[in-house]
Structure 1
Amino acid sequence: MGNNRVRSAIRTWAVEMVPNEGLARRLAVLAVVQAFGFGVFLTSSAIFFTQTIGLSATEVGIGLSVANVFGLLFAVPIGKLADRYGARHLLLGTYLALAVLFACYSLVGGFISFVVLTSLISIGETSSNPLRMTLTRASFPQEEQVRVGSQMRSLFNVGFMVGAMIAGAALTVGNRPAFYGVIAFTAAAQAFCAVITWRLNSPPHVRVRQDGPVKSRSGLRDVRFVGLALLCGVLELFQPILIVGLPLWIITSTGAPAGINAVLLVVDTALVFLLQVALSRGAETPAGSARILRRSGVLLAVCCVIFALSQDTGASIAVPLLLVGTVALVLGEISHAVGAFGLSLHLPPPGRQGEYQGVFALGRGVQQTVGPFLVTTLAVGLGRPGWGVLAVMFLVAGLLTVPLTRSAERAIEARTPKSAPDAVV
């Protein structure tokens, strides 16, 4: 009897994990291939930039920061173009451009060319996720959108992990031909993404025409939606905690062995793969998505408290605390992804999904810009008090999402003009 229940649960999980045949499955393959290419490149690029191209660590840091700014600046304009001409066309052009641009890394010979090329790539990378989400909303009914997004994210993690493993082999070789191999691999992955996008059987793009003289405000002036994007950016500080903060915390403030960090990353990847889709229920409405984000804030605050308790402890105490804290972090991470998917898909007014996806991406961009510095300053620099500050930030951000979402729903409904579809483009 018990074995039958286990088999039934596994079968149900497998069915939920595998996207439905057709567009959902092709979008999942698209996410895996893109993640595979990014995993190969991002895991090895910083070392190759310094050892092969000859850039200093400071030059690499400055170049990546400048590139991140350009990615943020172009997110909303590209989203507006997607609303006008269709997300699939923009996504196809983005992948084609990324394939060419990644190949051009083999021609980089100095700091200026590195900054220019990295900035162009950042624009494409920053835009690709909002464009995919815009395509998701246009292609699936509301009750399926978050599940499809969760399937893509779960499989994205798998693709990235496999790519990172391949990058490890390239780093072991560590010479210029290995770097060129990484470049070729990444460019080929983007080209394959372009082929998949070209073959997507997505619905034809329909522009929404507003009736009457009402002129829509820019999404950047939608204070409530921008506020929600920033709150989601605060909750996404789990990323620099996992990637930057915890490794430094382990070696400077606990008695745990440094190798435990690799175990924590495996735990994170495995749990996201296993639970992302299963925990996506409840985000079919803006209100449900906000409640899930509130849960994310609570879980992330709990993980900060647990990590703080590991300070100045021996391995026998620190390791279990770090493992339990990581589980809480991953559950908060999954809840954040589900809730953010829901708000970014459900709240934008008709015909402006691309623009609003670009606005929503600004929250992640701010986190990527200031997150590593903030986490290292608070958690690693201040210890337990710093972890306490992060816990309060997570808790407050999570709690604020519910009332702000209610307000955003009312405001968008009140000012959304009647609309009618134009001719199919």
Structure 2
Amino acid sequence: MIGAQRALAAANFAFTIGSGLYLTAGVLYFTEAVRLPAAQVGLGLGIAGVVSLAAGITVGHLADRLGARGVYLGTLLAQAAGDAAFLLATNFATFLVVVTVAASAKTAGFAARTPLIRHYGGQRPQEFRAFLRAVTNLGIAVAAPLAGWAVQVGTLPAYRSMVVGMVAASLAAAAILATVPPMRPVEGDGGKRWIALRDRPYLLLTALDGVMAVQFKVLTVAIPLWLVGFTAAPRWMISATMATATVIVVLFQVRASRGVDSPAAGGRAYRRAGLAFLLSCSLIPLAAGPPAAVAATVLIVAVMIHAIGQLWNSAGGFEVSFALAPVHATGQYLGVFGLGAGLADTFGPALVIWLCIGCGRPGWYVLGAILALAACTIPLAVRRSVTAR
């Protein structure tokens, strides 16, 4: 069991290095190296994000029926192929195809992996999932400077070497995953299609988790734009804010998840997260106006509070999504649960830009209130889901 956990963690680390390369400089590869207009890149990524949502449910269902390791292995190989095809993208049509394949493989891989986490995660698979999230952030931290090198050099060979690194990361993850013993499909009625889509209380939790997932765009979209456009803080503070949040998650995610050991505890963790997001979203606009040192301090404090909220948000999501999913349909249920975060990935950037940048200070307060309201609703939705079972 411990050996399987280590292999899954190592595979996750390898894969996340590739994901980190893409998250840091993937858009710039298509705009700077392929020379596609930014508007086309944004449109293509949005379409790919929507299409990929269906992949999570479908592949999660296949993982339940056919065995999770083989299906997850297939998604990693598909990810490697999709990333390699980036080198062939020369126009919008080919770009749209390759990013859709890559995005679908990534979403499908998350769904296919969840039965493995549940099977090999021991008595508390939620804690193992929290550990994997810490590993994920560590992998992104390793990848960021590598991608930064490609961006700094700015040549086509440099960007292509980054893509080769993405492919190598997925292949390495697949090779490591192959050492994990296969698991048989769990007996039960999980063979029935789309039972998760008929579970209304679980769908409500999925929707609320999707609202909460918008908070991830605060760090990656809203704060960088706010810092550059509205504050006197130096631009290098963008990296400092991301590094601060990453370090907090790497160091404390597992610890934050240990006390979240029931659906009710998961609901309370969500509620604490929402209040933390409300506080951080109330502090961030205060960085506009003061001198650079004060603005930087305000942003760091706000990011630290936001990162603590992320710890509770993730801990609550790990517990609720696993505990309320039938064992025989883990992949399908977690594939459905991923719809919320997938929609947040697709529409969240536009929402936070409209609220926080377009509306200014009031928009930050509105965003914080939305997150807090959703978080305070989740314990009621959890209670309803538990009762329905």
TM norm structure 1? 0.87
Aligned with residue 226 of structure 1, among 185, 203, 215: 203
**Do the aligned partners of 2:64 and 2:190 also contact (CA within 8 Å) in 1?**
no
**Partner Cα separation in structure 2 for residue 394 and residue 209 of structure 1:** 36
Name the counterpart of 2:26: 45
Three-state SS of the structure 2 residue aligned to 1:276 is helix
Residues 301-326 of structure 1, C-alpha deviation per residue, up to 9 Å, x if partnerless? Answer: 11111113333222243222211111
Name the counterpart of 1:235: 212
Alignment of 1:392-411 (within 5 A): 392-411=369-388
What is the Cα deviation at residue 210 of structure 1? 7.9
Name the counterpart of 2:365: 388
Residues 17-59 of structure 1, C-alpha deviation per residue, up to 9 Å, x if partnerless? Answer: xxx8411111111111011011123322222212222211111
Asked if 1:320 corresponds to 2:297, the answer is yes
**Do the aligned partners of 2:186 and 2:327 also contact (CA within 8 Å) in 1?**
no
**Do the aligned partners of 1:31 and 1:153 also contact (CA within 8 Å) in 2?**
no
Aligned with residue 79 of structure 1, among 22, 41, 60: 60
What is the Cα deviation at residue 407 of structure 1? 0.6
Name the counterpart of 1:96: 77
What is the Cα deviation at residue 201 of structure 1? 2.4
Aligned with residue 232 of structure 2, among 255, 264, 271: 255
Name the counterpart of 1:6: none
**Partner Cα separation in structure 1 for residue 334 and residue 318 of structure 2:** 10
Name the counterpart of 1:105: 86
What is the Cα deviation at residue 393 of structure 1? 0.8
Name the counterpart of 1:180: 160
Name the counterpart of 2:257: 280
Amino acid at match of 1:151: F
Larger CA deviation: 237-246 vs 251-260: 251-260
Name the counterpart of 1:15: none
**Do the aligned partners of 2:138 and 2:246 also contact (CA within 8 Å) in 1?**
yes
What is the Cα deviation at residue 109 of structure 1? 2.0
What is the Cα deviation at residue 253 of structure 1? 2.4
Bigger helix fraction? 2
List gaps (5 residues or longer) in structure 1: 1-19, 414-425
Structure having the higher Rg: 1
Amino acid at match of 1:230: A
**Partner Cα separation in structure 2 for residue 217 and residue 70 of structure 1:** 17
What is the Cα deviation at residue 73 of structure 1? 2.0
**Do the aligned partners of 1:154 and 1:272 also contact (CA within 8 Å) in 2?**
yes
Three-state SS of the structure 2 residue aligned to 1:109 is coil
Amino acid at match of 2:279: V
**Do the aligned partners of 1:282 and 1:289 also contact (CA within 8 Å) in 2?**
no
**Do the aligned partners of 1:236 and 1:333 also contact (CA within 8 Å) in 2?**
no
Amino acid at match of 2:255: A
Asked if 1:166 corresponds to 2:146, the answer is yes
Name the counterpart of 1:307: 284
**Partner Cα separation in structure 1 for residue 255 and residue 138 of structure 2:** 16
What is the Cα deviation at residue 159 of structure 1? 0.8
Asked if 1:194 corresponds to 2:174, the answer is yes
**Partner Cα separation in structure 1 for residue 193 and residue 264 of structure 2:** 24
**Partner Cα separation in structure 2 for residue 386 and residue 203 of structure 1:** 48
**Partner Cα separation in structure 2 for residue 36 and residue 252 of structure 1:** 30
Three-state SS of the structure 2 residue aligned to 1:348 is coil
Amino acid at match of 1:318: A
List gaps (5 residues or longer) in structure 2: none
Aligned with residue 135 of structure 1, among 107, 116, 120: 116
Name the counterpart of 1:33: 14
Amino acid at match of 1:77: T
**Partner Cα separation in structure 1 for residue 7 and residue 326 of structure 2:** 27
**Partner Cα separation in structure 1 for residue 239 and residue 84 of structure 2:** 31
Residues 208-266 of structure 1, C-alpha deviation per residue, up to 9 Å, x if partnerless? Answer: 2489xxx7863123222111112112222221111111111122222322222221111
**Partner Cα separation in structure 1 for residue 187 and residue 94 of structure 2:** 38
Residues 160-186 of structure 1, C-alpha deviation per residue, up to 9 Å, x if partnerless? Answer: 111121111122222222222122211
**Partner Cα separation in structure 2 for residue 184 and residue 393 of structure 1:** 41
**Partner Cα separation in structure 2 for residue 194 and residue 274 of structure 1:** 27
**Partner Cα separation in structure 2 for residue 216 and residue 37 of structure 1:** 32
**Do the aligned partners of 2:117 and 2:129 also contact (CA within 8 Å) in 1?**
yes
Amino acid at match of 1:370: F
RMSD: 1.8
Three-state SS of the structure 1 residue aligned to 2:187 is strand
Amino acid at match of 2:238: N
TM norm structure 2? 0.95
Percent identity for Structure 1 against Structure 2: 32
**Do the aligned partners of 1:244 and 1:372 also contact (CA within 8 Å) in 2?**
yes
Count of aligned pairs between the two proteins = 389
**Partner Cα separation in structure 2 for residue 166 and residue 65 of structure 1:** 26
Amino acid at match of 1:335: W
Name the counterpart of 2:314: 337
Aligned with residue 328 of structure 2, among 351, 355, 364: 351
Distance change >3 Å, CA 397–CA 128, structure 1 → 2: same
